[in-house]
Amino acid sequence: MTDILDPATERVIAQVPGSTGEDTDRAIAAARRAFPAWRDVAPGDRARLLRRFAEAIDAHSEELAQLEVRNAGHTIANARWEAGNARDVLHYYAGAPERLTGRQIPVAGGIDVTFREPLGVVGVIVPWNFPMPIASWGFAPALAAGNTVVLKPAELTPLTAIRIGELALDAGLPEGVFTVVPGKGSVVGARIAGHRDVAKLVFTGSTEVGRQIAAAAAARLIPVTLELGGKSANIVFADADLERAAATAPYGVFDNAGQDCCARSRILVQRSVYDRFLGLLEPAVAGVVVGDPADPKSEMGPLISAAQRESVAAYVPEGAPVAFRGSVPAGPGFWYPPTVLAPVSPGDRTAREEIFGPVVAVIPFEDEADAIAIANDSDYGLSGSIWTENVGRALRVARAVESGNLSVNSHSSVRYWTPFGGYKQSGLGRELGPDALEAFTEVKNVFIAT
Q: Give the nearer residue to ligand NAD in terms of CB position, either 96 or 228.
A: 228
Which positions from 331 through 370 interact with ligand NAD, judged by CB under 6 A? 354, 356
Cis geometry, peptide bond prior to residue 317 (ω within 30 degrees of 0): no
Long-range contacts of 247-250 (CB under 8 A, 24+ apart): 247/280, 247/284, 248/284, 248/410, 248/411, 249/281, 249/284, 249/360, 250/281, 250/284, 250/285, 250/287, 250/288, 250/338
Can you tell me the distance from the alpha carbon of 396 to that of 420, in angstroms, rounded to the nearest whole number?
Answer: 21
Residue count at the site for ligand NAD (CB under 6 A)?
A: 31
Nearer Cβ to ligand NAD (16/323): 16
Cβ atoms of 265 and 355 closer than 8 Å:
yes
Q: Quick check: 393 and 290 in contact, CB under 8 A?
A: no
| The one segment of 17-25, 46-54, 226-234, 265-273 that binds ligand NAD by CB under 6 A | 226-234
| Packing angle of the helix pair 61-72, 43-59 (nearest 10 deg) | 60
Q: Which of 4, 79, 164, 190 binds ligand NAD (CB under 6 A)?
A: 190
Query: Is residue 127 near ligand NAD by the rule CB under 6 A?
Result: yes
Catalytic choice (227, 299, 354, 431): 227
Binding to ligand NAD (CB under 6 A) within 232-261 occurs at: 261
Query: What radius of gyration do the chain's Cα atoms show?
Result: 23
The correct pick among 229, 302, 381, 384 for binding ligand NAD (CB under 6 A) is 229
Applying CB under 6 A, among 86, 89, 125, 181 the residue interacting with ligand NAD is 125
Report the residue number, 142 or 261, with the smaller CB distance to ligand NAD. 261
123 binds ligand NAD (CB under 6 A): no
Exposure letters 349-381 (e unless 16+ CB within 10 A, then b): ebbbebbbbbbbbbbbbeebeebbebbeebebb
- Is there binding between residue 154 and ligand NAD (CB under 6 A)? yes
Among positions 407-446, residues that touch ligand NAD (CB under 6 A) are 422, 426-427
Which CB, 204 or 403, lies closer to ligand NAD? 204
Q: For the CB of residue 412, give the shortest distance to ligand NAD in the complex, in Å.
A: 15
Minimum distance, C-beta of residue 362 to ligand NAD, in the bound complex (Å): 21
Is residue 128 at the binding interface for ligand NAD, with CB under 6 A as the rule?
yes
Number of H helices, E strands in the chain: 14, 20
- Give the span between the Cα atoms of 438 and 442, in whole angstroms: 8
Residue 7 interacting with ligand NAD (CB under 6 A): no
Which contacts of 205-208 are long-range, i.e. CB under 8 A and separated by 24 or more positions? 205/125, 205/126, 205/127, 205/154, 206/127, 207/379, 207/380, 207/425, 207/426
Our answer to whether residue 175 is catalytic in this structure is no
Residues 118, 230, 302, 333: which binds ligand NAD (CB under 6 A)?
Answer: 230
| Binding residue (CB under 6 A) for ligand NAD from 28, 86, 100, 126 | 126
Cβ-based nearer residue to ligand NAD, 132 or 394: 132
CB of 125 to ligand NAD, least distance (A): 5
Q: How far is the CB of 216 from ligand NAD (least distance, A)?
A: 7
Interface with ligand NAD (CB under 6 A), residue from 150, 209, 341, 428? 209
Q: Is 227 a catalytic residue?
A: yes
In whole angstroms, how far apart are CA 292 and each of 152, 251, 328? Answer: 28, 17, 10
Q: Which is nearer to ligand NAD, 189 or 358 (CB)?
A: 189
Q: Pick the catalytic residue from 68, 82, 261, 299.
A: 261
Give which of 10, 4, 111, 83 is closest to 331, Cα–Cα: 10
Residues 259-288 that bind ligand NAD (CB under 6 A): 261
Sign of CA pseudo-dihedral 18, 23, 29, 35: negative
Q: Which lies closer to ligand NAD via its Cβ, residue 122 or residue 242?
A: 122
DSSP string across 284-352: HHHT--BS-TTSTT-SB---S-HHHHHHHHTTS-TT--EEEE----SSSS-----EEE-S--TTSHHHH
| Given 71, 85, 136, 204, the residue binding ligand NAD (CB under 6 A) | 204
Residues that bind ligand NAD (CB under 6 A): 125-130, 134, 152, 154-155, 185-186, 189-190, 193, 204-206, 209, 212, 227-230, 261, 354, 356, 382, 422, 426-427
Active-site annotation, residues: 227, 261
